Every structure is written in structure tokens, then in C-alpha cells.
Amino acid sequence: MATESRTFQQVAVSLPEVNASVRISASTIGWRRLLGFLGPGFLISVGYMDPGNWATDIAGGSRFGYKLLFVIMLSNLMAILLQSLSLKLGVATERDLAQLCHEEFGRKASFALWVAAEIAIAACDLAEVIGSAIALNLLFHIPLFYGVLITGVDVLLILLLQRWGFRYIEALVIALIATIIAMFGIQMFLSQPNYGSALQGLLIPSTDIISNPRMLYIAIGILGATVMPHNLYLHSSIVQSRRYERTPKGKREAIFMANVDSGIALTVALFVNASILIVAAAVFHIKLAQWKRRMITRTLAIVPTILVVAAMGSRGTEKLLILSQVILSLQLSFAVVPLVMFTGKRKYMGEFVNGPWLQRLAWVTAFVIASLNGWLLIQTMMGS
């Protein structure tokens, strides 16, 4: 048992603190065991409610009304599919996406993928920095410049919480999500949107999304803000912390429980994201201490934010927020393609390998993401 535990710890090097602090109830009552899987889904879903997401949704709603609601729905459906593949990969192989990339592609290719993932993390951090600075300005009237500097400390606070055990982080995140849902529910009520037009925008895609470069740019930002490449790495890692019997039956139960939880959480995220746009329209293996890595990434986000705030003020932060989400979208294929490859290979997944229809759907999703990003680049080069 001790040897097995050490082996599992060595494999799950991405988040050892998680694997050491989380246990799943052995109760035969289904709902109690389901509660043990709530954490990963909600930790992932909170990323769908970040400032970058709000910025792209607000920009889309204020400029184009309800036309981009379809993009939000499609992006969330893609996210549900890809996140389910990510959690299945983590549970079935007991390794995360980064570890498998390192094993499959070798040092040079995995290093390139790591660089792409770090760019995505920095882009997401950029949105967090700007969003936090704006929040401090709204709540306490702290100038944006000083608010940006203050955000450099919050990384250390999260790492400190993690030392207490990952359950504390999960509880905090769930409480914050509940608060967000309540606030957006109130705003939905107060904004009095046109639900008929909103439903039409949700179900019927507009051809302007492809033909209008400005709308395409916002749509790509929504896609990047919703699917988020680094979350695919994260999800495949944190689900390993959910202890299960090391049998095919135990793995099937873990995959089912986590899928149910992630489906619920991402559906909540879909509601919140759609609410933002509706309301707006109505009115890999780097040996470096974790805190050092986070501070380096946060610094990469803080420096350009300070420069933009100093040069352009609050007007520039909105453009920078949207740009950060477009960068996320451009990085997506570097995570999505390996994820689809691995979950479609029996040598990794065993009996949990994607079925033919699921694999085809996953590749279509990867193709759509790559095509939209490619079309944006073509439109950008033609316009420049």
C-alpha cells in the first residue's frame, strides 16, 4: 500500500498538495460520494467567470446586442466536451495532459507546448490583474496604477490557503460562485432584457460573425475566455486527487461522478456568461518553486498592464482585456489537439478510450477552433 501511494504521488507531481489533502467518502450513499467530486468542477467553472470573460461579453453585448449569444452557447458546449475529455484523461491514466505530452512528444516539443501554456496563463493573469485593479477602484477608489501593484500579492494568498488543504480553496470558490450567481440574477431582473431577441441570438447564428472582422474578434475572445487552454491541463491534474478503487469499476464511477459535477458546474457557468452578455446588451515539468513560478507569471501580466494604464488609462484596459482573451483562443489548439489524440488512444485510455462518434465530435471541435482562429489571423493580415 505504501509503495502504491508513493507511485501515485510520483505520477501526480503536478499538484501533490491536492493529492495529499483530499479524500472521497467510502459511503454507499450516492449523493455523499458525488459531493466528494464537487470541488474540481467548480474550481474549473470559476475560470469561466473571470474579468476577461466579462470584458468580452460586455463588449459583445454593448456593440452587437444579442448576436453573439450563439457564440457563448457554442463555446460552452465545446468547453463541456473538452473538459469531460480532460477529466477522463486524468482519472483513467492517473496522469495529466502535461505529463502525457512530455512522455509522448519528447523534450523539445513538450517545451514548446509549455511555452504556449505559459503564454495562455500569462494572458489569463493579465485579465485577473486588470479585473482586480478595476474592482479595487470601484470598491475603494484606489487608482488603477496602485491596484495593479496590489494584485501581485494575491497569488501568495492563494498559495497560503493551499497549505491548509485544498478543501478550503474549494469551499471558498464555491461560496464566491454562489455570490456571483446571486448578483447576476439580480442584474438580470433589473436590466429587463428582451428575452425573445435573446433566445433568437442564442439559437440562431449570425453570418456577421464571420463576415464582420470586429464581431469576429470579439467572438474569438469569447471562445478563448470560455474554453481556456490552461484549464484543460489543470482539470486533468486536479481530478487525480479524487481517490477511487484502482479497478475499472472504480474508475468508471470516478469518471461518471466527475462528469456529472463538471456538467452541472459548466452549465452554471453558461448561465453566468450568457447573463453577462444579456445584461450588457440590455443596458510542464519545470523545476521551480511554485510561488516563484506564479510570481514570474504574474509579473509578466503586471508589467504590460502598468504600461497601458500609464499611457492610456482605463480606456486601454478594456482593449487589453479583450486582447488577452483572443491570445487565449490562439493558444487553444496547442492543448486541444494533444487532448483529443491521447483520449483517442487505447494504449493510454484502455477501455475508457473515446468511442468513434465521440472521437469524431472531438476532432470536429478541434477543427472548428483552429479554423476560427485561422480565419481571424487571415482577416487581421488582410486588414493590416
At 28, is the pLDDT very low, low, confident or very high (cuts 50, 70, 90)?
low
Does residue 167 contact residue 255 with C-beta atoms inside 8 Å?
A: no
Instruction: Name all contacts of 182-191 with Cβ < 8 Å and 24+ positions apart.
Output: 184/271, 184/272, 184/275, 184/276, 184/279, 185/275, 187/275, 187/279, 188/275, 188/278, 188/279, 191/278, 191/279, 191/282, 191/283
Range of the domain at 80: 30-383
- The identity of residue 242, as a single letter, is R
Comparing 64-78, 81-95, 283-297, 356-370, which segment has the lowest mean pLDDT?
Answer: 283-297
Comparing 126-130, 239-243, 311-315, which segment has the lowest mean pLDDT?
Answer: 239-243
- On whether residue 20 sits in a domain, the answer given is no
Q: What is the CATH number of the domain that holds 126?
A: 1.20.1740.10
Q: What is the pLDDT of residue 3?
A: 39
Using the predicted structure, report yes or no on whether residue 339 has a pLDDT greater than 90: yes
Mean pLDDT computed over every residue of the chain: 75
**Which residues neighbour 374 within 8 Å (Cβ) at sequence distance 6 or greater?**
none
Task: State pTM to two decimals.
Answer: 0.75
What is the C-alpha to C-alpha distance for residues 266 and 256, in angstroms, rounded to an integer?
15
Q: What is the pLDDT of residue 39?
A: 65
Using the predicted structure, report yes or no on whether residue 281 has a pLDDT greater than 70: no
Distance of CA 203 to the CA centre of its chain: 23
- On whether residue 77 sits in a domain, the answer given is yes
- On whether residue 101 sits in a domain, the answer given is yes
At 363, is the pLDDT very low, low, confident or very high (cuts 50, 70, 90)?
very high
Region 36-42: mean pLDDT is 66
Eight-state DSSP code of residue 54: H
Count of domains observed in the chain: 1
Distance of CA 201 to the CA centre of its chain: 24
Does residue 295 contact residue 120 with C-beta atoms inside 8 Å?
A: no
